[in-house]
């Protein structure tokens, strides 16, 4: 076979050296919030990773973990709005859930293995309502062992999966509403069970699957969650939420639309409307005179409608805790 002519080799080398076309990068999303309707089977970290790609930025975080089994409202901060997430994390929350009475599991939800199986067909509605009432209001709750709570710097669920026995301390939580919507008789591998649909409004840090566990334990039959959907976090509800599939339909040459920071702040904080001079002072990190704002965090909105800062009362002045529009 004759050798390849030098001119042909140079042409081949030239083609090999040509840079591959670079796919256009989606424009970076503006600073703001996305309210995502988390799908079942996804971790909160999975959602954040997907939003990072959609928003073309690594500066993405979430306010309040949802278990993989759960669906519903997950508030995502993009860009500078991640600094607002701390004011969302502590907000109260609404859930709809289904509690299965008759089976307790290692994780207090359907993801775990059954550890208790008891015929629950004898449970009376009056007893159910009484024990639901006992779990309403200010209560001490022992979080589920398979949770994101840190024990000596490591997540509790990681210790459990490593085979350790994890005993978490009870802590105060507030359950403002624990309402029974429906009770249905059913079967779990031939065992008579009761499926109880409930609605829960609770403080941050409350575990709905721990409520299911404690309800079943109080009734003497065991219990766990078979379904959980978060319908509200603070001022953010399902009506504002978008699915990841929906967000993925954003044209490649357009930034994913977000809720502007001022609107996001209005949903979680009381608001101080600023004059030009007050907006300027806060942008320099200076304090301003208080009006009738509470001592806690307040969203300071400038005359142009932008979020200037989150302020708090310190002494006799309102001073910026976080400045979003520096001078």
278 counts as catalytic = no
pLDDT of residue 206: 95
The residue with greater pLDDT, 155 or 266, is 266
> Is residue 20 predicted with pLDDT exceeding 70?
no
Instruction: Mean pLDDT check: name the lowest of 88-102, 142-156, 173-187, 298-312.
Output: 142-156
Token output for 21: 């076309």
pTM of the prediction?
A: 0.86
Please say if the pLDDT value at position 149 is more than 90: no
Residue 293: band (very low, low, confident or very high) from pLDDT cuts 50, 70, 90: confident
Give the model confidence (pLDDT) of 108-132 as tens digits: 999 889 999 999 999 999 999 999 9
Q: Are 71 and 229 in contact (CB under 8 A)?
A: yes
Determine the pLDDT at residue 120.
Answer: 97
Q: If pLDDT is split at 50, 70 and 90, which confidence band does 97 have?
A: very high
Higher pLDDT, 194 or 24: 194
- 6 or 224: whose pLDDT is higher? 224
Write out the two tokens for 126. 């009056």
pLDDT in tens, 231-280: 999 999 999 999 999 999 999 999 999 999 999 999 999 999 999 999 99
The 3-state secondary structure of the chain, one letter per residue: CCCCCHHHHHHHHHHHHCCCCCCCCCCCCCCEEEEEEECCCCCHHHHHHHHHHHHCCCCEEECCCCCCCCEEEEEEEEHHHHHHCHHHHCCCEEEEEEEEECEEECCCECCCCEEEECCCCCCCHHHHHHHHHHCCEEEEECCCCCCCCEECCEEHHHHHHCCCCCCCCCEEEEEEEEEEEEEEEEEECCEEEEEEEEEEEECCCCCHHHHHHHHHHHCCCCEEEEEEEEEEECCEEHHHCECHHHHHCCCCCCCCCCEEHHHHHHHHCCEEECCHHHHHHHHCCCCECCCCCCCCCEEEECCCCCEEEEEEEECCEEEEEEECCCC
Give the residue with greater pLDDT, 5 vs 279. 279
**225-to-67, 111, 143, 188, 315 alpha-carbon distances in Å:** 11, 9, 14, 13, 47
b/e per residue 197-209 (b: at least 16 CB within 10 A):
ebebbbebbbbbb
Query: 36-83 pLDDT, tens per residue?
Result: 999 999 999 999 999 999 999 999 999 988 989 999 999 999 999 999
Asked if residue 147 lies in contact with residue 207, where contact means CB atoms within 8 angstroms, the answer is yes
**Which backbone phi and psi does 140 adopt, to 5 degrees?**
-100, 125
Rounded to 10 deg, the angle between the 125-134 and 208-218 helix axes is: 130
- Answer yes or no: is pLDDT of 13 > 60: no
CA gap 279, 302 in Å, rounded: 6
* Average pLDDT along the chain: 89
Phi, psi (5° rounding) for residue 128? -60, -50
- From the list 13, 30, 31, 67, the catalytic residue is 67
Q: Which two tokens stand for residue 326?
A: 């520096």
């Amino acid at each position: 076979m004759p050798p390849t002519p030098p001119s042909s080799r140079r042409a081949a080398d030239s083609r090999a050296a040509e840079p591959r076309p670079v796919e256009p990068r989606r424009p970076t999303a503006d600073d703001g919030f996305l309210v995502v309707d988390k799908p079942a089977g996804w971790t909160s970290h999975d959602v954040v990773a997907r939003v990072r790609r959609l928003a073309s930025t690594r500066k993405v975080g979430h306010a309040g973990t949802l278990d993989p089994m759960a669906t519903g409202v997950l508030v995502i901060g993009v860009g500078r709005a991640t600094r607002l997430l701390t004011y969302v994390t502590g907000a109260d929350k609404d859930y709809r859930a289904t509690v299965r009475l008759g089976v307790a599991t290692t994780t207090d939800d359907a993801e775990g293995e059954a550890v208790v199986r008891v015929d629950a067909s004898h449970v009376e509605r009056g007893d159910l309502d009484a024990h639901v009432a006992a779990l309403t209001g200010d209560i001490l709750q022992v979080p589920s062992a398979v949770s994101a709570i840190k024990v000596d710097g490591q997540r509790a669920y990681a210790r459990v999966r490593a085979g350790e026995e994890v005993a978490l301390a009870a802590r105060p939580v507030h359950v403002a509403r624990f309402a029974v919507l429906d009770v249905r008789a059913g079967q779990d591998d031939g065992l008579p069970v009761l499926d109880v649909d409930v609605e829960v409004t609770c403080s941050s840090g409350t575990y709905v699957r721990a409520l299911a566990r404690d309800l079943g334990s109080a009734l003497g039959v065991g219990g766990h969650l078979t379904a959980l959907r978060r319908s509200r976090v603070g001022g953010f509800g399902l009506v504002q939420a978008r699915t990841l599939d929906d967000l993925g339909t954003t044209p490649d040459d357009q930034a994913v639309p977000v809720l502007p920071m001022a609107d996001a702040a209005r949903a979680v904080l009381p608001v101080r409307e600023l004059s030009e001079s007050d907006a300027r002072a806060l942008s320099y990190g200076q304090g301003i005179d208080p009006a009738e704002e509470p001592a806690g965090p307040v969203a300071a909105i400038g005359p142009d409608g932008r979020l200037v800062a989150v302020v708090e009362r310190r002494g006799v002045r309102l001073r910026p805790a976080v400045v979003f529009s520096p001078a």
